[in-house]
Amino acid sequence: MTRFTRIAGLGHYLPPRVVTNHDLEQLMDTSDAWIQERSGIRERHFAADDVGCTDLAVEAARAALADAGWKPEDVQFVIFATLSPDLYFPGNGVLLQHKLGLGEVGAMDIRNQCTGFVYGFAMADGVIRMGTCDRVLVIGSELQSPALRLTTEGRDTAVLFGDGAGAACLEVCDGSASRVLGHRMHSNGKYALELTIQRPGAANRPWISNEMIEDGSCGIHMNGREVFRHAITKFPAVILEVLADHGVKPADLALVVPHQANERITEAVRKRLDLPDERVYSNIGRYGNTTAASIPIALSEAVTEGKVKRGDLVCLASFGSGFTWAASLLRY
Ligand code: COA
């Protein structure tokens, strides 16, 4: 049998605390109107102080395992995408392996920010297709609220990001009904500093200092206009590439699940692909940008809402820090 990969189950989890734009108005000089007009975001979820990134991931992973009908011992490999790990090292993959009570299986982290889930999805597909494993758990989870500067100085990024987690159980199949078709991945590190947290970093001496904390270099720095300019061209380009690889036209897609960065970026992608609103998924209004978690949360919701059915063609696509951009095409 030629080996292919299918999604066996999906799950997602948002921490219960909802923070609205009006809540942020109390903390900084911003407005609900500015945030909605620029990004489409109305509210986001922030985790409680005693919750870590892997705690969110555990909830999403348990939901995905239940959806797939897997037990923890069925998982043979873990791929964890995040930019907000619990520890500098080791990575979240091993922490999740332990918290979920998995066997002593391989576990790794992917540090690709907004494209982390798509890159992880592609790696899992490779691991399954080459016969190394039959069942892989891929997670995107982010706990971004602790790094946000919830003040007027930090408002350019603080209003955009949120916490959450999504997970997918991928398993080997014969490809006759469902299967992952392929992937395209790109990067251009020339733009690495346009969206970054630069400190602490091992290229710097000293590794960390009080000055770094005070001058804001331990916080998120984003050149929003540069990110926007690249996103609206690279996003549709990588989608069209992966579609062309498989002779698929945009109109053949049941759903595009884009990384939820910004409603205006999603709208630009939709227009470029000439698709109606209902075929490009959007939940940014409720969750903000949850980075590596946004695609698995959106895909999990879309399936729950009946917007994706078995056999449908679906494209996952993302653009973000690095810059990196990537897309995966699958028959769900
Ligand atoms: N509330 C109110 N005003 C704010 C604000 C906030 N939260 N953040 C910034 N502003 C102000 C700026 O200080 C600036 O004021 P000035 O004109 O007096 O200098 C004004 O709003 C315009 O700022 P600007 O950065 O030019 O706005 P913009 O139209 O480029 O929109 C983004 C900002 C971030 C929404 C937009 O650039 C964007 O969407 N970029 C892509 C971001 C993204 O998706 N990142 C994640 C990628 S994975």
Residue 156 near ligand 1, beta carbon < 6 Å: yes
CB 281 within 8 A of CB 308: no
Position 7 scores a pLDDT of: 98
Look at ligand 1, atom 42, and give the residue with the nearest C-alpha: 224
The residue annotated as part of the active site, out of 259, 262, 283, 315, is 259
Residue 154 near ligand 1, beta carbon < 6 Å: no
Confidence of residue 216 (pLDDT cuts 50, 70, 90): confident
In angstroms, the CA 298 to CA 285 distance is: 12
Position 214 scores a pLDDT of: 85
Residue range 22-76, pLDDT digits in tens: 999 999 999 999 999 999 999 999 999 999 999 999 999 999 999 999 999 999 9
Q: Is 22 a catalytic residue?
A: no
In angstroms, the CA 326 to CA 270 distance is: 16
Please say if the pLDDT value at position 217 is more than 90.
no
Rounded to the nearest integer, the mean pLDDT of the chain is: 97
- Supply the DSSP symbol for 17: -
Please say if the pLDDT value at position 159 is more than 90.
yes
Average pLDDT over residues 146-158: 95
- Report the atom number in ligand 1 closest to the C-alpha of 264: 39
- Supply the DSSP symbol for 277: G
Domains of the chain: 4-175 (3.40.47.10), 180-331 (3.40.47.10)
Tokens read off for 114: 């907004």
Work out the angle at residue 141's Cα, subtended by the Cα atoms of residues 105 and 82, and round it to the nearest 5 degrees. Answer: 80
Look at ligand 1, atom 26, and give the residue with the nearest C-alpha: 225
Please say if the pLDDT value at position 181 is more than 90.
yes
Report how far ligand 1's centroid is from the alpha carbon of 156 (Å). 5
Residue 221 near ligand 1, beta carbon < 6 Å: no
Residue 38 near ligand 1, beta carbon < 6 Å: yes
Residue 317 near ligand 1, beta carbon < 6 Å: no
In angstroms, the CA 248 to CA 273 distance is: 12
Please say if the pLDDT value at position 15 is more than 90.
yes
Report how far ligand 1's centroid is from the alpha carbon of 310 (Å). 39
Residue 144 near ligand 1, beta carbon < 6 Å: no
Residue range 252-301, pLDDT digits in tens: 999 999 999 999 999 999 999 999 999 999 999 999 999 999 999 999 99
Q: Which strand (E) or helix (H) includes residue 101?
A: none
| CB within 8 Å of 299: residues ≥ 6 apart | 10, 166, 168, 257, 281, 308, 314, 316
Report how far ligand 1's centroid is from the alpha carbon of 287 (Å). 18
Kindly provide the b/e burial profile for residues 66-100, where b requires at least 16 CB atoms within 10 angstroms of the residue's own CB.
Answer: ebbebeeebbbbbbbbbbbbbeeeebbbbbbbeeb
CB 272 within 8 A of CB 236: yes
Confidence of residue 215 (pLDDT cuts 50, 70, 90): confident
Residue 34 near ligand 1, beta carbon < 6 Å: yes
In angstroms, the CA 77 to CA 292 distance is: 18
**Residue among 262, 289, 295 to mutate when testing ligand 1 (max atoms within 8 A of CB):** 262
Q: Which of 172, 146, 135 is nearest to 61 (CA)?
A: 135
Q: Which residue bears the tokens 């500093």? A: 193
Residue range 89-130, pLDDT digits in tens: 999 999 999 999 999 999 999 999 999 999 999 999 999 999
Q: Is 21 a catalytic residue?
A: no
Confidence of residue 136 (pLDDT cuts 50, 70, 90): very high
Q: Which of 13, 34, 23, 41 is nearest to 286 (CA)?
A: 41
Q: Is 221 a catalytic residue?
A: no
The residue annotated as part of the active site, out of 12, 112, 114, 173, is 114
Position 212 scores a pLDDT of: 87
Residue 261 near ligand 1, beta carbon < 6 Å: yes
